[in-house]
Amino acid sequence: MHIAMIGTGYVGLVSGACFADFGHHVTCVDKDGDKIAALQQGEIPIFEPGLDALVAANVKAGRLRFTTDLAAPVAEADAVFIAVGTPSRRGDGHADLSYVYAAAKEIAAALAGFTVVITKSTVPVGTGDEVERLIREANPAADVAVASNPEFLREGAAIRDFKFPDRIVVGTSDERARKAIGEIYRPLSLNQAPVMYTARRTAELIKYAANAFLATKITFINEIADLAEKVGADVQDVARGIGMDNRIGSKFLHAGPGFGGSCFPKDTRALVKIALDHDAPLRIVEAVLGVNDNRKRAMARKVAHALGGNLRGKTVAVLGLTFKPDTDDMREAPSIPLITGLLDMGAKVRAFDPVGMEAAKRELPDIVYCDDAYDCADGADALVIVTEWVQFRALDLDRLKAVMKQAVVVDLRNVYRPEEMAAAGFVYEGVGRGKV
Ligand code: NAD
């Protein structure tokens, strides 16, 4: 199959490389000329484990190409995926569909022969209808079917998630589209990955419902963590105790600083707006958003509290800036409101992240960027673990204590055990586990 992937970001690049690895001929298109130039020279513009080798192997095999020119690859494609961004629209939280619609119009003009246009971007219910309308309006002669195929990969584990998905959701009522998409994913269905065919609108809603449910699960355990702190219980054990119940499941039950990232915040916001527009408000999801926003802001106060309430003149070391480990993505990372709050309260902030510092410098210019965890902790009154990179899971506690001004650790990911930190001479505060 010949595939054109429109948008070569986290989703487009990973999906394009994986489709090429399945044996298809893929052209990844992006309007960002710097990104395409870098890819043409073998440089990967994002950090995603294993992606460089996968891209290199498929480029070498002649199955994966990069270009800024949309028309030629669309004309020769059997399937065109739209994987452009759908960020929150400034001001009202709706999904900004301008990139999707612009791509649809460009695609329309270039279509030749029967082509399936598939929306992989996360889009509100009804977007497929509008994409189809725009294409038919711009090119009434086009032989086209428009389908939805939402993507569920997680950054940091994107290739594994793409190649071993829990399910593949395909939204279409067109038999030719169904056949073409089935052919594209055949290597996965041969591996027993469940492929679920459904109506286009249903597929669009599945994606938002999945993200909202996961965001709700995280927020639920975060509130239980607050209660655990008040009543002297350990949220880690509560999470294990409820997670062993198969009806609940153990995933997404890690208490922390609140969810961030490129998807959950914007997708829950968009779902709330979609629901209000259709007069079917989702009060639970609305509450999740409110609780999560408050929580992210409260983390700076938690650090201040650990240092006696006053941060003026204090130095805080922050370990981990990206919204989760194994990515360089800073979008809506909890580190941003945390650090902004610490600066507002008069603290000086030093920070270290294994791969996210370049991206972080654009968001957080007024802090000191360090070479490693110990350099970061040097002279600090408190150390805050914000992102649980594997590098921070086995720190040399004696060395840490020796370089810090005060031995205070606020562990927002519960990486360490309170007893071991107390034994090492630290004042330690985790999430939902009280203070040692
Ligand atoms: P991204 O911002 O990393 O990449 C989007 C790319 O599209 C950019 O490189 C941009 O230059 C390009 N683009 C925009 N308009 C274009 C056009 N007309 N022609 C060519 N290129 C164009 O975004 P992302 O994180 O890959 O997300 C893409 C979509 O996938 C979003 O809807 C997102 O919600 C969804 N999604 C993301 C993830 C994730 O983990 N990042 C997971 C599942 C779904």
> 10 Å Cβ neighbour count for 353?
27
Check whether residue 239 and residue 317 sit in a common domain: yes
**Residue of 10, 47, 48, 268 with the most ligand 1 atoms within 8 Å of its CB, for mutation:** 10
Of 82, 107, 75, 108, give the one whose Cα is nearest residue 2. Answer: 75
Name the phi and psi angles at 178, rounded to 5.
-60, -45
Ligand 1 contact via 153 beta carbon (within 6 Å): yes
* 56 in any annotated domain: yes
Query: CB-hemisphere CA count at 13 Å for 199?
Result: 6
The answer as to whether 436 is a domain residue is no
Same domain, 307 and 180: no
Cα–Cα distance measured from residue 319 to residue 354, given in angstroms and rounded to the nearest whole number: 9
311: in domain: yes
* 3-class SS of residue 56: helix
Structural domains counted in the chain: 2
Digit-coded pLDDT (tens) for 257-304: 999 999 999 999 999 999 999 999 999 999 999 999 999 999 999 999
Structure tokens belonging to residue 221: 């355990």
Residue 394 neighbours by CB distance under 10 Å: 9
Separation between Cα atoms, residue 155 and residue 81, nearest integer Å: 19
Q: Give 12 Cα–ligand 1 centroid separation in angstroms.
A: 7
151 close to ligand 1 (CB < 6 Angstrom):
yes
179 Cα–ligand 1 center, Å: 26
Active site residue 263: yes
Q: How many helices (H) and strands (E) does the chain have?
A: 18, 14
Among candidate residues 198, 233, 252, the one where a domain is terminated: 198
Please tell me the distance between residue 139's alpha carbon and the centre of ligand 1 in angstroms. Answer: 25
User: For residue 18, with 0-12 CB atoms within 10 Å meaning exposed, 13-18 middle and 19 or more buried, which class applies?
Assistant: buried
Question: What's the CA gap between 291 and 223, in Å, rounded?
Answer: 8
DSSP string, 190-244: HTT--EEEE-HHHHHHHHHHHHHHHHHHHHHHHHHHHHHHHHT--HHHHHHHHHT
397 and 421 together in one domain = yes
In the listed set 198, 231, 262, which residue is the last one of a domain according to the structure? 198
Kindly give the number of the ligand 1 atom that is closest to the alpha carbon of 29. 20
Instruction: Compute the average pLDDT of residues 107-124.
Output: 98
121 and 161 assigned to the same domain: yes
The CATH number for 384's domain is 3.40.50.720
What pLDDT does residue 191 have? 83
Q: Are residues 36 and 169 in the same domain?
A: yes
Q: Could you identify the atom of ligand 1 that is nearest to the CA of residue 86? A: 32
At 434, the pLDDT band (50, 70, 90 cuts) reads low
Structure tokens at 191: 């591996």
CA distances (Å), 409 to each of 167, 353, 428, in order? 40, 17, 5
H or E segment to which residue 79 belongs: strand 79-82
Ligand 1 atom 37, closest CA:
11
Beta strand ranges found along 276-395 (DSSP E): 315-319, 348-352, 368-369, 382-385
CB distance 31 to ligand 1 below 6 Å: yes
221 and 72 in a common domain? no
Six-digit token string for 215: 């965001």
| Res 91: pLDDT | 85
Give the number of the atom of ligand 1 that is nearest the alpha carbon of residue 84.
Answer: 7
Domain boundary among 198, 225, 244: 198
- Residue 368 counted as domain residue: yes
119 Cβ inside 6 Å of ligand 1: no
Gap from CA of 34 to ligand 1 centroid (Å): 16
**Measured from the CA of 95, which atom of ligand 1 is nearest?**
32
Q: What does the alpha-carbon distance between residue 17 and residue 52 come to, in Å, rounded to a whole number? A: 10
Average pLDDT over every residue of 94-99: 97
Q: Give, in degrees to the nearest 5, the angle at Cα 408 between 404 and 413.
A: 115
CB 346 within 8 A of CB 311: yes
Name the least confident of 131-140, 161-170, 183-192. Answer: 183-192
Give the H or E element holding residue 161: helix 158-163
Decide: 357 in ligand 1 pocket, CB within 6 A: no
Amino acid letter at 252? F
Q: Are 199 and 173 in contact (CB under 8 A)?
A: yes
Determine which one of 18, 28, 263, 370 is catalytic: 263
Question: Domain range holding 74?
Answer: 2-198
Does 185 reside within a domain? yes
Q: pLDDT digit string (tens) for 8-20? A: 999 999 999 999 9
CA 390 to chain centre: 18
Assess whether the C-beta atom of 262 lies below 6 angstroms from ligand 1: yes
Residue nearest to atom 32 of ligand 1 (CA): 121
Q: Is residue 178 part of a domain?
A: yes
Q: Is the CB of 102 under 6 A from ligand 1?
A: yes
| 263 Cα nearest atom in ligand 1 | 34
Condensed to tens digits (0 to 9), the pLDDT of residues 347-368 reads 999 999 999 999 999 999 999 9
Task: Tokens for 374, please give them.
Answer: 């110990």
Report whether 6 contacts 83 (CB < 8 A): yes
Residues 241-262 pLDDT 10s: 999 999 999 999 999 999 999 9
Q: Are 27 and 140 contained in the same domain?
A: yes
Ligand 1 mutation target, pool 14, 80, 84, most atoms within 8 A of CB: 84
Furthest CA-CA distance within the chain:
74
Q: How far is CA 4 from the centre of its chain?
A: 23
pLDDT of residue 192: 87
218 and 194 share a domain?
Answer: no
Going by CA atoms, what residue is nearest to atom 29 of ligand 1?
121
Q: What is the mean pLDDT of the chain?
A: 97
379 Cα–ligand 1 center, Å: 41
Distance, in Å, from the CA atom of 411 to the CA atom of 343, rounded to the nearest integer, reads: 19
Q: Is 278 exposed, middle or buried (0-12, 13-18, 19+ CB in 10 A)?
A: exposed
Per-residue pLDDT at 241:
98
Same domain, 190 and 238: no
Q: CB under 8 Å to 149, separation ≥6 — which residues?
A: 81, 118, 119, 120, 168, 169, 170, 171, 181, 203
Q: Which atom of ligand 1 is nearest to the CA of 122?
A: 32
